[in-house]
A and B are shown apart, each in its own frame.
Chain A
Amino acid sequence: MNQKSGIFDMIGPIMIGPSSSHTAGVVKIANVAYKILGGQPDEAVITFYNSFARTYEGHGSDKAVLGGLLGFATDDERIRNSPQIAQEQGMKYTYKAVGNASTLHPNTIKLELTKNNKRIEIIGESRGGGLINIASYNGFRADFTAQLPTLIIEALDIKGSIAFIAQVLAQDDCNIATMNVSRKAKHDIACHFIEMDTALENITIQYLLHLKWIHNIIYLTPIT
């Protein structure tokens, strides 16, 4: 998707400094996790990789990630005080730094989060200019940018499932921009990551969710 820049890419974004890849991008990755989890985690283990590993404190990425996990947007001034706010709200967190994960993008973060009994793991890449890529979700290869309405569907890996889902979305007049399906083994659970040009009706999601072979659906609105 090679979208042309607009004037608010030149005069903007409005954000918390110091750098779009170290703060804005990091906040967005954590925002995705916040939305998938349905709120702030009780406990977070945050791992900074590669180039992030040495610079995350100096650039304030540690505060940015907590801000994002608390649900703050990229231009929220509370980000600067996010460690205190997290503490006040009883959110536990630990940081790790890993230097040389050569298979990962230079600016990568892993978030291992728990809330009540739910546990998720997200790996995100901050790709510069505030753009992000969610590289994986719970071990499934994901690759979505969170710039468009996105569906994450966990379903049994049965014949025709991909075509069926695409059909249902088309009925809702929804154009698919990108679609990735990843699974751990044949006939195991498959995870569909679908980016769409327009928003979905709730009823479409409800319909899909009520099918027996679909186990779970997460619908993400774009993150700005």
Chain B
Amino acid sequence: MSVLFDNFRAWQQYCEQHNLPLYVPVLEYEREQKGNSEEFVWQGLARAYQVMKEAVQTGLTQDMRSRSGMINNGAKKVFHHPLNVLSQEFKEMISSALAAKEVNSCMGRIVAAPTAGASGILPGILTNLQKIHRLSDRKILEGLLVAAGIALIIEQNASLAGAVGGCQAETGSAAAMGAGAIVYCLGGSITQVFNAVAITIQCMLGLVCDPVAGLVEVPCVVRNASAAAIAYSSAQIALADVSSVIPVDECVQAMGEIGQSMETRYKETALGGLAATPTGQQIAQKVLIQDIEILNEE
């Protein structure tokens, strides 16, 4: 039995036909594609989740200053700030996403999910989801499988790389993965899960990749926090059975189309957007190596 879904509709149909939870076909896919045993997959997921939790912890407790100086212990500041703009949970969620991403910028250990630039989003979302709703580890790992399935489909129909599709492809995809995982873990229907993915993509469409000095720091770190927040807002909307109107597969198509027509200066080249601002360029002057040899090519 070969389970190769390449769009959300086929995934939903398959699950409904066989009366399966969303994560099962993803597990089957991995077994067939990579020949990995079920046990191997669960262990790998558990290890990934462990590293995510450690990254959050590290970012909230250790000194997080990047070599460029642009990242300077922001997560801890947020975490310890006395005023909650919304709620304690919201503040903790935002600081966890920042924390894990700061670890990435400061050469610590992270899980690229789906990319290193977006490595704070799932940790921020899942660690807090588990805490607030007292979910079992097993549930979270199922959520990770659902997230992986979402990413596989986006990769196939659009892109996950900032250099190919802009930041919508990186932080946007991670947010979509997170939103789907939230709704799945909280017992939402398949339609609700995919509505959450669709709504998240709708909120992230068009976001360009414009990292200052080409480093994965500004705006990447704060975008990990906002992407996590958007995932939560989309999940809240979708769980109430609000429709995305445009089906999720078409939202992914739109993301692919926008990514393709985006100019290259907005695709990780650090030639446009924030990277091209006067301050952005000043910083680039300071951190980039100026003393390089230029070959005399004939």
User: Which residues in A have some Cβ–Cβ distance to B below 8 Å?
Assistant: 4-20, 23-24, 53-60, 63, 75, 77, 79-80, 96-102, 128-130
B112-A20 in contact (CB<8A) = yes
Q: Min CB distance, A111 to chain B, in Å? A: 17
| A53 cross-chain contacts in B, Cβ below 8 A | 289, 292
Interface residues of B in 274-293 (CB under 8 A from A): 287-293
Known pairs A55-B215, A55-B288; A10 contacts B113 (CB<8 A): yes
Residue on B nearest A8 in the bound complex, by CB: B44
B294-A75 in contact (CB<8A) = no
Q: Min CB distance, A105 to chain B, in Å? A: 14
A77-B108 in contact (CB<8A) = yes
B103-A17 in contact (CB<8A) = yes
| A59 cross-chain contacts in B, Cβ below 8 A | 214-216
Contact pick for A15, options B116, B145, B152, B155, CB 8 Å? B116
B289-A54 in contact (CB<8A) = yes
User: Which residues in B have some Cβ–Cβ distance to A below 8 Å?
Assistant: 26, 29-30, 33-34, 36, 41, 44-45, 47-48, 51, 67-68, 103-117, 119, 122, 144-145, 147-149, 151-152, 155, 160-161, 163, 177, 213-217, 287-295, 297
Contact pick for B34, options A6, A54, A60, CB 8 Å? A6
> 29 A-B pairs, CB-CB below 8 angstroms?
A10-B113, A10-B114, A10-B147, A10-B152, A10-B155, A10-B160, A12-B44, A15-B111, A17-B105, A17-B106, A17-B109, A17-B216, A18-B216, A19-B116, A20-B112, A20-B115, A23-B116, A24-B116, A53-B289, A53-B292, A55-B214, A55-B215, A55-B288, A55-B289, A58-B213, A58-B287, A97-B289, A97-B291, A99-B292
Complex Cα–Cα for A86 and B286 (A): 27
Known pairs A11-B45, A75-B109, A80-B107; A19 contacts B292 (CB<8 A): no
B109-A98 in contact (CB<8A) = no
Most buried by A among B144, B288, B290: B288
| B30 cross-chain contacts in A, Cβ below 8 A | 6-7
Contact pick for B110, options A5, A15, A55, A98, CB 8 Å? A15
- Given A14-B110, A15-B110, 9 other A-B contacts at CB below 8 A? A4-B33, A6-B34, A7-B148, A10-B148, A17-B110, A17-B116, A18-B116, A58-B68, A99-B294
Known pairs A17-B216, A57-B287; A7 contacts B26 (CB<8 A): yes
Complex Cα–Cα for A100 and B287 (A): 19
A58-B48 in contact (CB<8A) = no
Contact pick for A12, options B29, B112, B291, CB 8 Å? B112
Q: Min CB distance, A173 to chain B, in Å? A: 17
| A128 cross-chain contacts in B, Cβ below 8 A | 161, 163
Known pairs A58-B287, A97-B293, A100-B295; A14 contacts B109 (CB<8 A): yes
Residue on B nearest A51 in the bound complex, by CB: B214
Q: Min CB distance, A163 to chain B, in Å? A: 31
Q: Min CB distance, A216 to chain B, in Å? A: 32
| B41 cross-chain contacts in A, Cβ below 8 A | 7
A14-B51 in contact (CB<8A) = yes
Complex Cα–Cα for A137 and B4 (A): 39
A17-B119 in contact (CB<8A) = yes
Complex Cα–Cα for A100 and B216 (A): 23
Complex Cα–Cα for A75 and B105 (A): 14
A99-B116 in contact (CB<8A) = no
Complex Cα–Cα for A99 and B289 (A): 10
Complex Cα–Cα for A92 and B256 (A): 47
| A16 cross-chain contacts in B, Cβ below 8 A | 107-110
Residue on B nearest A63 in the bound complex, by CB: B107
| A19 cross-chain contacts in B, Cβ below 8 A | 116-117, 216
| B29 cross-chain contacts in A, Cβ below 8 A | 7
Q: Min CB distance, A198 to chain B, in Å? A: 12
Complex Cα–Cα for A101 and B294 (A): 8
Contact pick for B293, options A9, A11, A96, A102, CB 8 Å? A96
| B106 cross-chain contacts in A, Cβ below 8 A | 17-18, 80
| B104 cross-chain contacts in A, Cβ below 8 A | 17-18
Complex Cα–Cα for A35 and B273 (A): 42
B148-A101 in contact (CB<8A) = no
| B48 cross-chain contacts in A, Cβ below 8 A | 8, 11-12, 14
A98-B113 in contact (CB<8A) = no
Residue on A nearest B292 in the bound complex, by CB: A97
| B122 cross-chain contacts in A, Cβ below 8 A | 11
Residue on A nearest B58 in the bound complex, by CB: A77
Q: Min CB distance, A5 to chain B, in Å? A: 6
Residue on A nearest B150 in the bound complex, by CB: A10
Q: Min CB distance, A19 to chain B, in Å? A: 5
Q: Min CB distance, B90 to chain A, in Å? A: 25
Q: Min CB distance, A172 to chain B, in Å? A: 21
